[in-house]
Copies of this chain bind each other. A is one copy, B any other.
Amino acid sequence: MTTVGELGETALIERIVERVRRASPLQTMGGRVITAIGDDAAAWRVAGVQAATTDTMVEGVHFRTSTASWADVGWKVWVSNVSDIAAMGGSPFAGLVTLGLPADLDVSNVDALYDGVLEACAVYGTELMGGDIVGSPVPFVTIAMTGVCSATPLSRSAARPGDALAVTGPLGGSRGGLLLLESGAELDTPARQALALAHRRPAARTDAGVVLRRVGVRCAMDLSDGLAADLPKLTKASGVAARVEIEHVPVADALRSEFRPDALRMALGGGEDYELLFTGPSDLVQAAVSEVPGSAVIGEITEGPVGRISFVAGRGEPVSIEVEGWEHLR
């Protein structure tokens, strides 16, 4: 075992650069690259509308190495950024990776982290174009990503009363996987394996984002903190309220079979599914739903009180549901 402190910054960066070049030998960035990894900044040709986002995961806060491999962490931080670009209806392009590393961390963990990032790069047609490595008592990974989008990107502030409210796929799988991994349960059934995979290797819905934009939907956001925590952000940004018909919320099949009585609550509260939440006139939303398998209309946007979310059951009677959304600072 070699620690990052023993290897030192210069050798570690050389090691990473070689790894990135081997995985992505041409560093083409669509033929648009001018300066990639290794200089003061990256540079590339672009025309149109550029989008940029950033997401971070801190060890002990957003991940634990007992339930996620370093490759999983690299994958997930990259994908969470891709998801933000997808939520704008855009195409992710390239990202910068910042690592905060304790000196006593084994270098093989850094290798694995980059392997996860590079896997995600390949799957989403994106490039790693540089970054920064710093010492830190607690490991963290920050990715900043750029992409291209239209001059009218999807926005979380475009919901209007009367809009249908929909999601692009089943929810709660990541939370179910996390609980299984934390419990140390054997992953001995397809359902358990599916949940663990949903937690370790979530997918970003770039495909769905493109459909939403094409059919004319204007309002979307990605579900990173959970429906119960994220929907209030959308309604507040739009100055509206929402009604959610809980029986229509799609719940991952594997979640139902493994966590039957709690599955719905976990689907409403669980984060890191990275499905898109979207709203629009009913005909547009239906058009999108018909093109995105697994998606479903789950309710309606209503007038205020601004930000209020009403959960209702079969015949419209209000239900009170205790859910925990992700709160970053508690």
Contacts and interface: CB of A to CB of B under 8 A. Distances in A.
Interface residues of A, number: 76
A135 B56 CA distance: 10
A140 interface: yes
Contacts of A90: 41, 43
Copies in the complex: 2
A115 interface: no
Interface in A141-157: 142, 144, 146-147, 149, 151-157
Interface stretch (A124-132, A256-264, A294-302, A315-323): A124-132
Interface string A1-22: 0001101111010000000000
Contacts of A38: 157, 237
Interface stretch (A47-55, A160-168, A192-200, A244-252): A47-55
A137 interface: yes
B151 A45 contact: yes
B42 A53 contact: yes
B42 A51 contact: yes
Given A132-B56, A135-B58, A329-B8, A88 B43 contact: yes
A123 interface: no
Contacts of A268: none
Contacts of A135: 58, 61, 328-330
Interface of A: 4-5, 7-10, 12, 34-35, 38-58, 60-62, 84-85, 87-88, 90, 94, 96, 98, 100-101, 103, 129-138, 140, 142, 144, 146-147, 149, 151-157, 220-222, 233, 237, 327-330
Closest A-B pairs by Cβ, 7 of them: A144-B144, A41-B53, A40-B87, A9-B328, A41-B51, A40-B84, A43-B51
